[in-house]
Amino acid sequence: LKPCLSLKSLILFLELVRRACAHWMALSVVPVLNQAVWNVFPFLSPADLTALGASSAAVRSTLQPAHQRAAATDSLVQKLRKLPFDFHFPLFPLGPELLQGVLDSLGSLRLLRRRELVGLGTGFAPTDLEGWAFDSWDALGDAVASAEIAKRSAKLGARPSLLLGAVLHRAIGQPNEGGSLVTSSVGLEWIDGPAADPLQLGLRIVIGSASKARIDLEVGSGGWSPWAENWTLQDRTLEARVAVAVVLPDGGRCLIAQDFRGTLPDGSGMERLDDEGCQASGIDALRAALEAAGEGGVRAVVCIGGLGWRKEGPAWCPPELRRVVAKLP
């Protein structure tokens, strides 16, 4: 600066420099901060956030949405941790959009239990619950993808559906390659109805030759008592629109979808597939995965979009099952 520069000119010059620096910060530093603040926000103390917010109005305006975003994310994390899953990786960095998608897809999912023969082999009862544990976003994303595939394949328009999660295991003693592969039975039991009429839902997958498969779905009332009664797809006393979807670790996908057979419910908007009403894809990959999985099993998502009785239905049904019952002609 020249010695003759007046104090007024010096103040004006410094003001111009300040404004230039502020403009540069708005154009370069703040946008970068806007991208980075979400990653560093969880590690800053309240005092650090206050000091950072006081540095400029631009920084403060960036921190305010981040604070709201962090609160929304924390709320979603708490909701997800109440679901019947274990998460072995941080959920917070996923952000509210991904977490909301996970909650929308898996929030209503109920886990199926293994079923074992009891009562001297006269009936099944649910036993062990196999929890779902996710070690990475990739594993969680596969479960979300499975849920979406199953729902798209089974839902009847806007009607309610029942979303279930299962760990499929190859049943012990089944034939090796060249014969049918059957999975162990899994299911649910509702005991909040009449004491003498607990209601069970059971499911297993039968993989045959030529890349074909079928879903064995049954509903039973009365347990293994003398008055027990069953409705099954196999004896055609039960009709169902149900899909089983699996996203395999190698990225392969398997879908087994069972439709109503014969005449469809009015307004269902469905087309009958074949005499069995069942279609399948990716079966060879699923068979290989089940044979290689051992005790770990293979995770699958089951969506029941509709049930129908071909004989008089159960005397009592839980609300979540009653919601998916469709009237058959």
* CA atoms of 321 and 329, how far apart (whole Å): 19
- In the chain, % helix, strand, coil (3-state, to 5) comes to 35, 30, 35
Q: What pLDDT is stored for residue 134 in this prediction?
A: 95
Across 41-50, 185-194, 209-218, 233-242, least confident range: 41-50
* CA atoms of 233 and 231, how far apart (whole Å): 7
Across 41-45, 109-113, 170-174, least confident range: 41-45
Per the prediction, the chain carries an average pLDDT of: 78
Greater confidence, 256 or 328?
A: 256
Q: What pLDDT is stored for residue 45 in this prediction?
A: 59
The answer to whether the pTM exceeds 0.85 is: no
Q: What pLDDT is stored for residue 87 in this prediction?
A: 96
Q: Tell which residue, 201, 202, 213, 182, has the closest CA to residue 278.
A: 213
Percentage, residues of the chain above pLDDT 70: 67
Q: Is the pLDDT of residue 144 over 60?
A: yes
Greater confidence, 34 or 310?
A: 310
Q: Is the pLDDT of residue 213 over 60?
A: yes
Task: Please give the average per-residue pLDDT across 206-235, as a whole number.
Answer: 85
Task: Please give the average per-residue pLDDT across 24-38, as a whole number.
Answer: 50
Highest mean pLDDT among 12-21, 41-50, 84-93, 169-178: 84-93
In the block, tokens 């479960």 appear at 143
Q: Tell which residue, 206, 233, 209, 232, has the closest CA to residue 221.
A: 232
* CA atoms of 232 and 175, how far apart (whole Å): 24
Greater confidence, 232 or 45?
A: 232
* CA atoms of 308 and 9, how far apart (whole Å): 88
Helix extents (H) in 118-241: 137-154
Helix extents (H) in the chain: 7-24, 30-40, 46-53, 57-81, 95-106, 137-154, 283-293, 319-322
Q: What pLDDT is stored for residue 278 in this prediction?
A: 77
Q: Is the pLDDT of residue 275 over 50?
A: no
